Amino acid sequence: MLSVKYLSLQKPELEYEVRIRGVTPASSVEELRKQIVKLSKDFPSEHILESPLEASQDLNGCLEVLTKIQSNLDSADPTIPVLMRTQNMLNHLYNRIARITRSDDVKKEYDEVVKEFDLLTKKFKTLQANKPFSSTAGAGSASSFGSGPAVPELQNVISVTCDRTSADLAKLKFNGTTCVRSFIQRVDEFIKARNIPASKILNYCTEIFQDNALHWYRSVRDKVDSWSELAALLRKDFDQSDYDYRLDTEIRGRTQGERESITIYLSIMDGMFSRLSNPPSEAEKLRILLHNIRPCYASTLAASSTEISTIDSLRSLCRNYETYHSRHSQFQEPPRVTSDTVAPEFAYSRESNKSTNKFNNNTYNKQNYAFNNNYNKGQYSKNTNYNQNQNKAQQQNYVHSVSNTAQNNKQQPYCPRCRSNTHHIRQCQASRDVICFKCGMKDVKTPDCPVCNKNKNKGTKN
């Protein structure tokens, strides 16, 4: 399957992409785009190998896409954006044809679609050679759909992208009231991630700054030529005078949360240290961390034979403790032998019977001794009550054991799609075709199944 940028598709193609993923398409393009963005993460194109639509219906849709592609390629001088959208439609059509189940009834229509796709692909490659444009090469390979004519290799599979730098950069807002150091750090990370020239950042400052910060920028923009100069002015004019003192106080009071792993806690503390104008030394950082981590690590750190001289060694020891604690909390006793056990001779032999027999023997001897003494003293009735209480306690323990066994055997996985009891439906790797979960009929859901509803209606009449 080839890469497709769904947001570049038109409404009919979006409806197809949503429908083959088992969801009813929305009425508007905006809602369709929201649907496909979510569905494409759960059901990628390479996981959908067959189309749930009828072959004739699917081929008619392919002809409509071919008409759009032909219209784009027949224009006098197609622009680069038009060529990029066209190849994205070719990728979409390639995947669509590959999913169609070819049969003798639609052989002629199928071969015509593949032939037309072949011709338009060659025409597109000719236009692309005359007007080259930057594109991301895909893993196109020569293949054939069914036993029909071969589809040519797509040497330059376009991943249609758009420059979202300006839109994403505009999300970094600063109005002069929030932390200026956090804002500068976020912009620096954005510049490094997108490899943006510093001069380009200044072009978007009127969109980044808001309210009083925008007034301030308008007054200083003629004095700066780069982002580094602007960042220095931001620190000078918007940074709090006692920021380092207050942040240092917060650092020393920031202890590790109850459900916070050591990795996340150390990462957060490292971020707080980096915000200081003069970060502390490694030894001072380690001293603060040892004081603020949770006390549960104390035994592990005390038992360590190596000296904790770095933050990395602290992280490693605490991670070992978390691993041990996780294994301890998830440990399960060996399973009981059941009728489905394949090799019962290797199953764990519980000592419950031996301990029960030992308990019964000791109880029996004590009861006999007490019975004889009490009988001689005329207290037979008290010993009888004692035996009854013991019997009730044993019966309650037995009922509790049976209840636990039933609870353990209650949760049995079952997948209605492939009708297997080895996994749940969310872990199913079988085909995603629409089927009736009761009788297995394809292309129909259980509430609409004519077979199951027919049987149900007959049972109602009787």
**Band (365; pLDDT cuts 50, 70, 90):** low
**When comparing pLDDT for 31 and 127, which is higher?**
31
pLDDT value for 131:
65
**Band (249; pLDDT cuts 50, 70, 90):** very high
Using the Cα atoms of residue 178, residue 184, residue 188 and residue 191 in order, give the sign of their dihedral: positive
**Band (215; pLDDT cuts 50, 70, 90):** very high
Per-residue pLDDT at 296 exceeds 80: yes
Amino acid at 150: A
Whole-model pTM: value is: 0.39
> For 101-125, what is each residue's pLDDT tens digit?
878 888 888 888 898 898 988 888 8
Looking at every residue in the chain, the average pLDDT score rounds to 77
**Band (460; pLDDT cuts 50, 70, 90):** low
> For 28-81, what is each residue's pLDDT tens digit?
888 999 898 888 888 888 888 888 888 888 888 898 889 888 888 887 777 888
Residue 215 to residue 206: CA distance in whole angstroms: 10
Choose among 1, 17, 154, 94: nearest CA to 9.
17
Residue 348 to residue 361: CA distance in whole angstroms: 25
Bridge partners of 415, per DSSP, are 420
How large is the average pLDDT for residues 149-157? 39
The angle that helices 80-99 and 107-130 make with each other, rounded to 10 degrees, is: 150
**When comparing pLDDT for 136 and 266, which is higher?**
266
**Band (274; pLDDT cuts 50, 70, 90):** confident
How large is the average pLDDT for residues 162-178? 69
Per-residue pLDDT at 200 exceeds 80: no
DSSP class of residue 47 equals: G
Q: How many CA atoms lie within 13 A of 312 on its CB side?
A: 0
> For 397-420, what is each residue's pLDDT tens digit?
554 554 555 455 456 777 877 777
How large is the average pLDDT for residues 383-398? 57
Residue 150 main-chain phi, psi, to 5 deg:
-70, 140
**Band (155; pLDDT cuts 50, 70, 90):** very low
Per-residue pLDDT at 380 exceeds 80: no
How large is the average pLDDT for residues 216-221? 89
pLDDT value for 85:
86
Percent of all residues in the chain with a pLDDT value above 90, rounded to a whole number: 1
> For 48-63, what is each residue's pLDDT tens digit?
888 888 888 888 889 8
pLDDT value for 168:
63
